[in-house]
Amino acid sequence: MIPTIKWDNHFISLIDQRKLPGKKEWLVCRTLQDVITAIKEMAIRGAPAIGVAASMGLALGSQTITTENYKIFRRNFFEMARQMKSARPTAVNLRWAVEKMIRVVEMMKHSAVKEIKGALRKESQVILERDIEINQKIGQNGLRLIPDNATILTHCNAGALATGGYGTALGVIRAAHEAGKDIHVIVDETRPLLQGVRLTAFELIEEHIPVMVIVDSAAGYLMRKKRIDLVIIGADRIASNGDTANKIGSYQLAVLAKENAIPFYIAAPVSTFDPDLKNGELIPIEERDPGEVTSFDGNLLGPKGVDALNPAFDITPAKYISAIITEREILKPPYKGSISDLFGTDMK
Ligand code: MRU
């Protein structure tokens, strides 16, 4: 399995996902700003991976704060946290990870700054390692929803590359394969940045899991022809009623799945829930550069000067979601109840 991100002595190395599958190239981030840029420009992407990168980026940034005074350190660190939070708006894992790092600083107010810096680096490593364990649990929990011989449609990339490792939606697929189930995966290209054909197909081929790529618009036809048994995708943010933000195109797959009586599953860690949000309409949707739509790899796809809309995510209303697979349990509708039960015990 290809690693996503790691500490490399004093710096952070991440696989530059813009270059995959053509080149496996490590991008070295030497400053907080390098990490923020890598997230914005999607050298690293996927909600849990963004969270891991944010925590490491803040640990890296904290090393550059040159004071022994806690109050000054805290003020500088908060400014870094503010900048990090604004890198990408939709995936709530980013905010979750930043808040975890802030808690370390708050809890260590009586410690020496040097010790706080050490604790921040340790915390970021824990977030990374814990993310991999969480995904393996999601995989184990989701196994029972995957029948033998199933053809599974997935969208975008919710794999090892989108997380600390193993993957969420792809983690369930991986676990089913490891359990000896004979499964076949169909992945759509996922325009405009092609995370499906570039990254998901790449991961599945590396794991020897049978995969075929389709264009985004072929999904409805294949569902109607009964060539897809279930859909499983990841999530960037899940509101308290189960409405789910994920890569643009997820909503239309969910509607098509319902129309064709095909189960539609979300696989996501508890850190992807935003229990304070009443519904999906309140989830901020990132609008990206229209140039991502009108050109690819520097080549213009349409007439010169053509404009484009480029929402990067959409919201799938809860009524289209058959179940949400988390590391703790499989949530079933009505989600208002199952999500508040999930957070009734322990939110963090
Ligand atoms: O824009 P991206 O590539 O960061 O979008 C990624 C997705 O939408 C994933 O499906 C989601 O983050 C879940 S990743 C486990």
Give which of 76, 51, 71 is closest to 61, Cα–Cα.
76
Nearest-atom index, ligand 1, CA of 268: 15
pLDDT at 346: 44
Residues 6+ apart with CB under 8 A from 221: none
Nearest-atom index, ligand 1, CA of 312: 1
Q: Select from 40, 92, 93, 157 the residue to mutate for testing ligand 1; criterion: most ligand atoms less than 8 Å from CB.
A: 157
Q: What percent of the chain has pLDDT over 70?
A: 99
- From the CA of 73, how far away is ligand 1's center (Å)? 33
150 has a pLDDT exceeding 70: yes
Nearest-atom index, ligand 1, CA of 193: 3
189-220 tens-digit pLDDT? 999 999 999 999 999 999 999 999 999 999 99
What residue's CA is closest to ligand 1, atom 10?
Answer: 234
Nearest-atom index, ligand 1, CA of 159: 15
Residues with CB under 6 A from ligand 1: 45-48, 91, 156, 158, 162-163, 168, 195, 233-236, 246-247, 312
235 has a pLDDT exceeding 50: yes
Q: Select from 247, 289, 324 the residue to mutate for testing ligand 1; criterion: most ligand atoms less than 8 Å from CB.
A: 247
- From the CA of 114, how far away is ligand 1's center (Å)? 35
Mean predicted confidence (pLDDT) in 125-145: 98
pLDDT at 109: 98
- From the CA of 156, how far away is ligand 1's center (Å)? 7
Catalogue the long-range contacts made by 104-112 (C-beta closer than 8 Å, 24 or more residues apart).
Answer: 105/73, 105/74, 105/77, 106/74, 109/70, 109/74, 111/70, 112/68
| Confidence class for position 1, pLDDT limits 50, 70, 90 | confident
Q: Give, in order, the Cα–Cα distances in Å from 232 to each of 34, 85, 90, 139, 165.
A: 33, 28, 20, 12, 18
- From the CA of 312, how far away is ligand 1's center (Å)? 9
Nearest-atom index, ligand 1, CA of 155: 10
Alpha-carbon gap, residue 328 to 347, rounded angstroms: 12
Q: Select from 236, 250, 316 the residue to mutate for testing ligand 1; criterion: most ligand atoms less than 8 Å from CB.
A: 236
Q: Rounded to the nearest 10 degrees, how much is the dihedral formed by the CA atoms of 275, 278, 281, 285?
A: -20
Residue with tokens 């991100």: 5
288-315 tens-digit pLDDT? 999 999 999 899 999 999 999 999 999 9
155 has a pLDDT exceeding 80: yes
Mean predicted confidence (pLDDT) in 270-277: 97
Alpha-carbon gap, residue 97 to 67, rounded angstroms: 24
pLDDT at 344: 85
- From the CA of 65, how far away is ligand 1's center (Å)? 32
160-191 tens-digit pLDDT? 999 999 999 999 999 999 999 999 999 999 99
Six token digits for residue 269: 């860690």
82 has a pLDDT exceeding 70: yes
3-state SS, the chain, equals CCCCEEEECCEEEEECCCCCCCCCCEEEECCHHHHHHHHHCCCCCCHHHHHHHHHHHHHHHHCCCCCCCHHHHHHHHHHHHHHHHCCCCCCHHHHHHHHHHHHHHHHCCCCCHHHHHHHHHHHHHHHHHHHHHHHHHHHHHHHHHCCCCCEEEECCCCCHHHCCCCCCHHHHHHHHHHCCCCCEEEEECCCCCCHHHHHHHHHHHHCCCCEEEECHHHHHHHHHCCCCCEEEECCCEEECCCCEEEECCHHHHHHHHHHCCCCEEEECCHHHEECCCCCHHHCCCCECCCHHHHEECCEECCCCCCCCCCECEEEECHHHCCEEECCCCEECCCHHHHHHHHHHHCCC
1-5, 76-80, 208-212, 276-280 — which is least confidently predicted? 1-5
CB 323 within 8 Å of CB 338: no
- Set 34, 188, 236, 243: catalytic member: 236
- From the CA of 40, how far away is ligand 1's center (Å)? 13
Mean predicted confidence (pLDDT) in 101-126: 98
pLDDT at 2: 78
What residue's CA is closest to ligand 1, atom 6?
Answer: 46
Annotation marks residue 341 as catalytic: no
Q: Give, in order, the Cα–Cα distances in Å from 193 to each of 141, 181, 289.
A: 30, 31, 11
347 has a pLDDT exceeding 90: no
- The chain-wide mean pLDDT, for the chain, equals 97
How much is the pTM? 0.96
52 has a pLDDT exceeding 90: yes
239-268 tens-digit pLDDT? 999 999 999 999 999 999 999 999 999 999
